[in-house]
Structure 1
Amino acid sequence: MTTTPTTAGAATARPAPRSTAPVTGATPRPATGRIPTVGGGPRRVRLAISRVDPWSVMKLAFLLSVAIGIMIVVAAIVVWFTLDSLQVFSQLDGLIRQVAGQESPDLLAFVSFEKTVSAATLVGVIDVFLLTALATIGAFLYNIVAALVGGVNVTMTDE
């Protein structure tokens, strides 16, 4: 005696889950979404940077340009103290007085410590505004160009 399955039993049967594996016979992907590595080598992932957030670029550029502005002021102070301790300003002043005569203007009045630090601070403030603005404009331009050509392709490895 043989029995055949009824159609009522077939209606309650569940269909087989769909596999995400290619038709080539490879093993299906695990449920975690991670692609298993073949062998023991590092994984390589190709990504495309297709958009950069201009607000985050502006914040980062502002902080970096403030740091650069501080470095400009500190470098100007260090260079001024170094040149002053080596008597470069007084020797240049003596040379100018020797060539142009005693009525020539005093060089030390032009390169005093206060004027040097003030000029370096001014350059640092201009640096903050320009670098922040240029980086933000660069982010907008990158987004426009990346929309046209697809962005920059980056290959990341898991080492």
Structure 2
Amino acid sequence: MRKDVGPTIIISDLTRGVLIPRTQRENPIAYLLEDSEILVPIIGYYFYLRETSNKLIYRLGDVVKKRTFRSLLRAVEMINNMREKKLKIFIEVDGVWVKSRKQDSLRGKPIDIIRDKLREITTMILERDDGSRVAVDGIGAIYEDFEAQRITVYGD
């Protein structure tokens, strides 16, 4: 029987990763991935696998009431988990406006989460403190109002 190990991919955040094609080599090679054209499909595939597997369980259990994410999909998982527990949810989003590319921070409550699995788009509708609503997507957003680069979820 031949022992063969597939590629290893390590992604520290949504902007940088490491690809090790084969670990069973005399001189292993690793590639640093910083190109979003390569990272986005890999991350999308990872989240597809996450979505079709078991529910996410945080190692601290119900103690986690505040967490910061780079990925909108991970933030959505936590929001859905908090909604099941009937917690009040508040969001702080740091990022840029899609049209103007101006840096900004938003704060408010998640009103709705829209998933388009065919186009692999997730949009969160955020109601700001002033009552206005903003469509928020993750890194690489083009259809929404705001591109989130950092999302902090609070539960109360």
Where on the TM-score scale, by shorter chain, does this alignment land: which range?
under 0.3
Greater RCO, 1 or 2 (C-alpha within 8 Å, sep 6+): 1
TM-score, scaled relative to structure 2: 0.21
Choose between structure 1 and 2: higher strand proportion: 2
Q: Return the index of the structure with the highest Cα Rg.
A: 1
TM-score, scaled relative to structure 1: 0.21
